[in-house]
Amino acid sequence: MGILAVCSVRADESPEARARATEAKMTDDERFSLIVSVMGAVPSIGVPRDRRIPENVSNMSAGYTPGVPRLGVPALQASDASMGVTNPGYRPDDKGATAFPSSILVGATFDPGMARQVGAAIGREARARGFNVQLAGGINLARDVRNGRNFEYYSEDPWHTAVFGAAAVNGIQSEGVISTLKHFVLNCNETNRHWLDAIIDPNAHRESDLLAFQIAIERSQPGSIMSGYNKVNGTYVSGNALLLNDVLRGAWGYKGYVMSDWGAVPEWQFALAGLDQESGLQMDVRQWGGEAFTDRLKAAYADGSFPKARLSQMVQRILHAIYAVGADQWGPAPAIDLSAHNEIALEGARQGIVLLKNDGVLPLATGKPLRIAVIGGDAQEGVISGTGSGAVLPVGGFAGVVKIGGPGTMGAARNLYLFAPSPLAELKKALPDAQFEFDPGYTTAEAALLAKRSDVVIAFGTRIEGEGFDLADLSLPQGQDAVIDAVASVNPNTIVVLQTGNPVSMPWRDKVKAIVEAWFPGQAGSQAIAEVLAGKVNPSGRLPITFPVNLAQTPRPELSGLGTPWGTPVTIRYDEGAEVGYRWYAQHDATPMYAFGHGLSYTSFDYGKLKVRGGDTITATFTVTNTGKIVGADVPQLYLTNAAGESRMRLLGFERVQLAPGASKTVTLKADPRLLARFEGTNGLGKWRIAKGTHRVALGRSAVEPVLTAEATLKGRLFGS
Ligand code: BGC
């Protein structure tokens, strides 16, 4: 008998009603089995197959929760993550998945439509493998330029991040696959993350990281929220009643379930504080010496300290996600068009690569027999990837893997991963008349010899960043800064292509003619890089994270706890509060190296006819014109600069606009009123207040390049929650 045939609850009822009805029919054993998930076997890190995974399940991954077939409830099978369907050794016969660009690159497209397309493609690939939960939707704010996981997140701005996170979730869930938004919340550094206490003013938190979650949840209704490893203001988020019960449920009305991160649950009491599912049980055993939501929770149930009503609620929330997303209504698996998915990965990379600097050297002349030196960065092999649970094995395998290692549980996952084809091969294709020579950048002296006898140098600078590690400084590792300096000293036509997930210090910046930030660009990254350098693609990415001059300029010149041994309690104060990223630089009158929103093009754009309306919120209308000679995309950005006398910088809106030469477009942006407000409350509960009076806005090319300014009057009001 098929699953649907035995399901007696009607599919046209609301997910709430269906969840209540199904849960009511369950036995307690069934209820308890739904509120935990176990990892699949990973022999390489010593995780054997768990007895709770039935013999006939071959598609293992990060999470498995048995279903309840008699009630039509499917098993929950979860895989990572935001850049493709991962397989860190779980499925020996899996041939790999599409490795999409890193989320920070997708954020740099400033095109939420791209995040949706990537999400939908990931959803299809997940579904084809039988995964109905995708652990994607990383939306922590890039608060600290040392955070090793910023490549898995979209930006430093709450609005931008929320819009992108929601688009990704909508894409994934459109395929009937439950998505998470993670890691709730303020998991903005990796340093000793299991013992990390993130300190922040609760109101400022509501205006920043929590606002990103709030808006993303409203726009996408993710089936699940993953609670992070860290504490906030002294209490673990996974057991934080204030954040999970009062804010997420009470103030926001979130209806799905909260799953923990893998190894984030030391105590069964987290079930009383709003956590609905304990994930990755084996990691909790390793981390805290036992499972929390199995025998210990059952004992609490037996002695009455864990109430039946709460158990039912946890189960109903999980069922709600299944029904709302349609994970119980799957037809046959979709056919996967890998070349169409490669096109999405390629188009994303084309749009998210950022041209930071160009003193006229780019685009490279295609018709000339230029002698081009390609130096360093494994550019003869491939482009690199971020590491950790989000790293995707591409179809056909990696072009190369070199073990890096490091302390802590993520050391084993820290590798140099290379995606073919190589930038060198793609450059040869894009510039057929040029002559190429490659030097690995192994020694500065050899690299300089080749640079000296070349017309142009393309130097690649790479830095592996990943889960479990914060960066100790902003340099490029293994002497790459010295190599770039050496080649730029002997060849004035040096172009640097960076593959990093965060800003780097670029001590050679004034010596080189052009700098391109390619992030971790995914499996089609080499082609996109070559097309941008050769001018086949007009660069259009914009920085979703501020590049500071140095660490001294950032809110935390020193990162507390950095380098302390695994297991050391760490307190990180996010005293910048809501003034994250570009807001901080504006507040401190500091000019960064490259500002949030910055990115050059091979054409030029102008803005005109800015009209701003006030009232309940700000609505701005303006025109964008391509004033150059080639087609290109621009990203006009609208910022609040002053709120009723208070200097305050907030991105209110943006739009990516593609224009033919000479063409214009009228754009209208309407601000979410919370971006104009301050949160007033106690412990993070309260209301939003817009101050009555004149509000000033700037329409700009970046956070530091206003082009037009205007004013509008807003009504004073208190609203929302
Ligand atoms: C990561 C999560 C991931 C989980 C499952 C954890 O280490 O923090 O982002 O989804 O592992 O693999």
Lookup: tokens for 696: 């000033």
What is the H or E stretch that residue 104 is in?
A: helix 103-108
Quick one: pLDDT at residue 44? 83
Q: Give pLDDT, residue 679.
A: 98
Cα of 39 vs centre of ligand 1, distance in Å, is 11
Phi and psi angles of residue 405, each rounded to the nearest 5 degrees, phi first: 80, -175
Q: Whose CA is nearest to atom 6 of ligand 1?
A: 262
Say whether 462 sits in a helix, a strand or coil.
strand
pLDDT in the model for residue 409? 86
Residues of the chain with pLDDT under 70: 1-11
What CA–CA distances, in Å, run from 618 to 579, 653, 690, 694, 695?
A: 21, 10, 11, 11, 9
- 719: β partners: 688
Question: What spacing in Å lies between the alpha carbon of 69 and ligand 1's midpoint?
Answer: 28
- Residue-wise pLDDT for 386-437, tens only, equals 999 999 999 999 999 999 999 888 999 999 999 999 999 999 999 999 999 9
Residue nearest to atom 5 of ligand 1 (CA): 62
Sign of CA dihedral 262, 268, 269, 273: positive
Residue 162, helix vs strand vs coil: helix
Can you give the pLDDT at residue 10? 60
| DSSP character at residue 124 | H
Residue 261 appears among annotated catalytic residues: yes
Q: Angle CA(492)–CA(493)–CA(499) in degrees, nearest 5?
A: 115
Contact 458 CB / ligand 1 (< 6 Å) = no
Angstrom distance (rounded) from CA 600 to CA 182: 32
Ligand 1, atom 2: nearest CA belongs to which residue?
Answer: 261
Q: Does the C-beta of 602 come closer than 6 Å to ligand 1? A: no
Our answer on whether the CB atom of 410 is closer than 6 Å to any ligand 1 atom is no
Residue 389 Cβ inside 6 Å of ligand 1? The answer reads yes
| Ligand 1 touching residue 278 (CB < 6 A) | no
Beta strand pairing status for 224-227 and 178-184? parallel
Residue identifier of the C-alpha nearest atom 3 of ligand 1? 389
pLDDT value of position 2: 35
The first and second tokens of residue 128, run together, are 């084809």
Q: Is the CB of 262 under 6 A from ligand 1?
A: yes
**Hey, what's the torsion of the CAs at 326, 80, 523, 174, to 10 degrees?**
10
Instruction: Considering the candidates 80, 261, 328, 672, report the single residue annotated as catalytic.
Output: 261
Which residue from 64, 34, 69 is spatially nearest to 52, judged by alpha carbons?
64
Query: Is the Cβ–Cβ distance between 226 and 180 less than 8 Å?
Result: yes
Give the pLDDT confidence score for residue 1 in this predicted structure: 29
Measured in Å, residue 194 CA sits from the centre of ligand 1 at 12
Q: Is 135 in the pocket of ligand 1 (CB under 6 A)?
A: yes
What is the 135 CA–ligand 1 centroid distance (Å)? 8
Nearest atom of ligand 1 to the alpha carbon of 81: 10
> Which amino acid does the sequence have at 104?
I
Here the tokens at position 150 are: 């910023």
Residue 566 sits at the vertex; the CA angle it makes with 565 and 570, to the nearest 5 degrees, is: 80
Whether 588 and 576 have beta carbons less than 8 Å apart is answered as: no
Structure tokens at 136: 């994607």
pTM confidence score: 0.98
* Distance from Cα 81 to the centre of ligand 1, integer Å: 8
Residue located nearest, by CA, to atom 11 of ligand 1:
262
pLDDT for the residue 11: 61
Q: Is 80's C-beta closer than 6 angstroms to any atom of ligand 1?
A: yes
